[in-house]
Structures are given as structure tokens and as C-alpha cells.
Amino acid sequence: MTTLALGPSWLDPDYLIGTFGLIGVLVIVFAESGLLIGFFLPGDSLLFTTGLLVTSGTLKTPLWLVCLLIVLAAIIGDQVGYLFGRKVGPALFKRPDSKLFKQENVEKAHDFFEKYGAKSLVLARFVPVVRTFTPIIAGVSRMNYRSFITYNIIGGTLWGAGVTLLGAALGKIAFVHEHIEMILIAIVLLSVLPIVIEFLRARSKSKKAAAQRPAVDDGLVGPGTAATDGRAPGTPPGTPGAPGAPGSGGGRGRHAKR
């Protein structure tokens, strides 16, 4: 198999599996599912490659056992993330940025959780970065524990077993073996597609909101602001009916009072 052309070689799924074996796969799945430091790990491509290597005989562990262990690692990882979120609470949103931690990742996961609710625990499994922070946000929000467990099991099973079985099924096709690097790159691109779509959608909304804001001409009184001389907002001096204008009756002349 060729080396994945994206990122450093030590993040290449083939290198990771060849060096650390199935134990390494389980540790990575666990870390990416709920530990803050695991957001950059290659989850989708790693699971796909694992299934492919089981089919090719490189990994000798039975496929059913590999899927079971991966699902358990994913579920337990989310569980740890949830408990961490409950303990840390709002302090997570005040944590300063560092090389391994970006506040925008927390906010992105928080928005994802707010938009999709409990379903986000399933959907986030298939979105890199978001899947790491979503169980933590669920803990911060003190999501009902029974609901969390239910959706955690569903999401962990669909993602952990699903992507691994997909790799095992496609691993029987000669074209996949011959173009594995292209396949893995396609998986990475597909996995980040939801983030790109959400970014473009948010950008479009912000542009529309900016276009709908009423423009205030320079030199005129802004909306909702009363003029200092008693005129209606936006009324130029000397307009009939304005104080001091001819015929307004608003001012007192020299002979008004004798």
C-alpha cells in the first residue's frame, strides 16, 4: 500500500496500523472520540484502512472482533468526553488558545450541538474535529444521561463498525488496492465536506444580514434619534413646520408679547 499524501507520515493510517497494530487503532479511536488532544487524528481513513487490511489478511484478527472493539473504544471515548465536560463546565469556553487547543473548535461543536440536539452525537461522528468536542459539549450542557448513552451507542456503532465494514467490503475490489491513496484522500475530503458546507452557509447568511441593514446617510440624523432642535428625525433646517421656520408658529418674535 502507498502512503497517504495528506499530512505527516506519522499520521498515515498504514504507518500507524503497521507500527502499533490493532491496539494503536483502538487508542486513536478512543482519543479522537472524547479527548481534547485527539481532534487531529485520522479517524475515518484509519477505520477504512483497518477494514481493508483485515480483508487482505495483513491484520489477522477476525473482522467481527475488530468492529466490536472499535465500537467499544468509540463509545467509551465519548463517555469520557461527556464526563469531562460535566466536570469542567463553562471553564472550557474560557480556556486560552494553544497549539493543540483552539477556542473556535469548541464553539463550532457547540453550534453543531445546538442545531441538531441529541442527534448531533450521531451526526458528529462523521465530522472530523466536531466529533471530538461534541460529547464534551453535551457534558457541559448537562444533557440527559440516558439520552446521551442511547445516541452515543448508536453513533459509535454506525461510525465505528460502518466505516470499518466499508473498508473491508471495498478492500475486495482490485481498483481500491491499486488506488488506495486516492481513495483515502477522497474519504478525508468527504469527511470535511459538512464543515465546508456549514461555513459557506454561515458566510452567505452574514452577507445577507449585512445587505439588509438600513444605510444611514452622512449628515442626517440616524434612525430613532431625535433632532436637537425639536425637528423630526431627518428634517433639514428651515423646513415648514420646523421650529424657527416661517409660518411654523414655533418661535416668538420681538412683538409677540407686549
What are the C-alpha distances in Å from 237 to residues 98, 241, 243? 57, 10, 8
Give the separation between CA 78 and CA 229, rounded to whole angstroms: 64
Mean pLDDT to the nearest integer, 191-203: 68
pLDDT band of residue 15 (cuts 50, 70, 90) is: confident
Identity (one letter) of the amino acid at 59?
L
User: In 3D, which of 146, 151, 148, 190 has the Cα closest to residue 44?
Assistant: 190
Whole-number mean pLDDT of the chain?
75
If you ran DSSP here, which 8-state letter would residue 125 be given? G
Q: Is 80 helix (H, G, I), strand (E, B) or coil?
A: helix
Instruction: Select the more confidently predicted residue: 251 or 67.
Output: 67
What is the model's pLDDT at position 130?
A: 80
pLDDT band of residue 232 (cuts 50, 70, 90) is: low
What is the model's pLDDT at position 258?
A: 42
pLDDT score of 222 more than 70: no
pLDDT band of residue 76 (cuts 50, 70, 90) is: very high
* pTM for this prediction: 0.66
